[in-house]
Chain A
Amino acid sequence: DADVTQTPRNRITKTGKRIMLECSQTKGHDRMYWYRQDPGLGLRLIYYSFDVKDINKGEISDGYSVSRQAQAKFSLSLESAIPNQTALYFCATSPQGATETQYFGPGTRLLVL
């Protein structure tokens, strides 16, 4: 079984709709992250959480919100989706330690029409 899972894997939605992307992990890591990946722009950090009570904005948090329901679960919401939020979204986890190695989920491909 995969250590970091994301649901759904693919999603098509319409402008203005609210959608939620979910991430679950069985690695026991405290730190979780949400990224989006766009061609030519690389991976950009949306939000990150170092524990259940800690939520931090990344470099592109506008238009997004998150919820850390438990150590193992970190959800990303688009309150009112817009076409330029069409992208590949990745969840990642990281253990405490001297290096910041991150373990990524398989991604969610989102298309906003």
Chain B
Amino acid sequence: TQLLEQSPQFLSIQEGENLTVYCNSSSVFSSLQWYRQEPGEGPVLLVTVVTGGEVKKLKRLTFQFGDARKDSSLHITAAQPGDTGLYLCAGGGGGSNYKLTFGKGTLLTVNP
């Protein structure tokens, strides 16, 4: 069974601070995705990374896939209240197994 551990589980910071969220596994994934979920809504895809060592930037968000494709990180620079939400990582098994394994999420609160 593939498991994804996210840390921290909760994070409360002030506007303007930087933060990093981690997603770790002992399993290798063919792809790693990050989703953001706001209260009362479904998760929305932020990014997909597929190559070991890959780094993607989305404005103030930087995503990295580990060289061994077992872990990933999400770094937010100068956090804003609008970044508040539940951040979920999800690993894809590849091949014909089109299912995702989700981490339990990091609940981020950015205080003004």
Contact = CB atoms under 8 A, between A and B. Distances in A.
Contacts of B100: 100, 102
B55 interface: no
Interface stretch (B12-20, B37-45, B62-70): B37-45
A41 B104 contact: yes
Contacts of B98: 31, 50, 94, 96, 100
A87 interface: no
B104 A98 contact: no
A84 interface: no
Interface string A82-113: 00000000101010101111111111000000
B31 A100 contact: yes
Interface residues of A, number: 26
Nearest to B6: A42
A43 interface: yes
Given A31-B98, A94-B98, A103 B105 contact: no
B105 A42 contact: yes
B61 interface: no
Contacts of B43: 43, 90, 104
A45 interface: yes
B99 A48 contact: yes
Interface of B: 30-31, 33, 35, 40-45, 48, 50, 88, 90, 92-93, 98-100, 102-105
Interface of A: 4, 31, 33, 40-45, 48, 50, 58, 90, 92, 94, 96, 98-107
